[in-house]
Structure 1
């Protein structure tokens, strides 16, 4: 009788340890999934900051120079397109990230053309508001890069966790998250031209 009780207690203990261990695996997956969601939100926040700054930049440029309308229009249109692309952080897919990246790439390209074209206007380069906005944009681009890097680190941590054994058995409902990849052609340096 005593031996039977010991065996039953041992079996119950092993089952309880297994249950708590599986709960621990599930809880860690939830934490890592939320870390990915937070990191993505930080990426979006960084881009939103840039989009907010673009409006001020365009107004400053318009007010300080008789500027090329096409360049300003391109910046405004790229910004509008970029702000129209939204991604649900709980359902990030490679396709949605690619769509988001393409829209943001359009903003980057239009901003580059704007800032290069501005070199033709000495009175604008001397404008303190413009110089401050230019510094803010540079800082924001660095913040965006940092946010992307942190997002990719969170994705890597999550993806490794859900694929490791024995976690994989308990986390079959979780799918790998896509990383943020560099824009097409980003491996080649862009040529800056000053057409005076």
Structure 2
């Protein structure tokens, strides 16, 4: 074997090893996104299970707030449907609706001293608030994993392997602008 053949084999082996390294990195990123989404799913499921308990507790005290309670149940259903379909846009919209409804419910609870004093309500409110905070943290981690994946599949030379092996971009989990606005507490009491 002459020197040119040896150099060609060494270069080919280097290119192959580099391609394998890129591929393994892309696979790791893809699975990282899935893992982060699964972590969000766990918290959404826990919150999903707690909401009927909260609504039932509130129904005992809030006879005139049926529309708020029904809105929460409807939003809960929308979250479950979007989650099942893995539709990030619909999930973001449903989450916005649910979070808004919960914010309204907790604000309206201020009008019901007996409800606010109820141990079950206090426990559920703390539990759901804790889950909301955890969901926000996990959403941030998910979006970071999505961003890492999406940037990497567009960077050279990774883009060559990503396109050849059909790696896809993921959608960020974004909430609607209305969630970013301050809640008008005064309007809830009028």
Measured against the shorter chain, the TM-score band is: 0.7 to 0.9
- Given candidates 173, 181, 185, the residue that maps to 1:188 is 181
Residue 178 (structure 1) aligned with residue 188 (structure 2) = no
Give the TM-score normalised by the residue count of structure 2.
0.88
Shift of 1:105: 1.7
Residue 12 (structure 1) aligned with residue 9 (structure 2) = yes
- Whether the aligned pair in 2 keeps the contact of 1:61 and 1:67 (CA below 8 Å) is no
Shift of 1:53: 1.3
CA distance in 2, matches of 1:13, 1:148: 44
- Given candidates 26, 38, 41, the residue that maps to 2:38 is 41
Q: How does 1:2-81 map to 2 (within 5 A)?
A: 4-66=1-63, 68-81=65-78
CA distance in 2, matches of 1:160, 1:145: 22
- Whether the aligned pair in 2 keeps the contact of 1:47 and 1:144 (CA below 8 Å) is yes
Structure 2, unaligned runs of 5 or more: none
Shift of 1:185: 3.0
- Whether the aligned pair in 2 keeps the contact of 1:39 and 1:147 (CA below 8 Å) is yes
Structure 1, unaligned runs of 5 or more: 90-95
Residue 152 (structure 1) aligned with residue 143 (structure 2) = yes
Residues 37-46 or 65-74, more deviating: 65-74
Larger Rg: 1
CA distance in 2, matches of 1:37, 1:22: 23
CA, structure 1 residues 176+80, in 2 after alignment: closer, same or farther (shift >3 Å)?
Answer: closer
RMSD: 2.0
- Whether the aligned pair in 2 keeps the contact of 1:57 and 1:130 (CA below 8 Å) is yes
Residue-pair matches, total = 187
Residues 182-191 or 28-37, more deviating: 182-191
CA distance in 2, matches of 1:82, 1:149: 18
Residue 128 (structure 1) aligned with residue 119 (structure 2) = yes
CA distance in 2, matches of 1:142, 1:86: 18
CA, structure 1 residues 140+79, in 2 after alignment: closer, same or farther (shift >3 Å)?
Answer: same
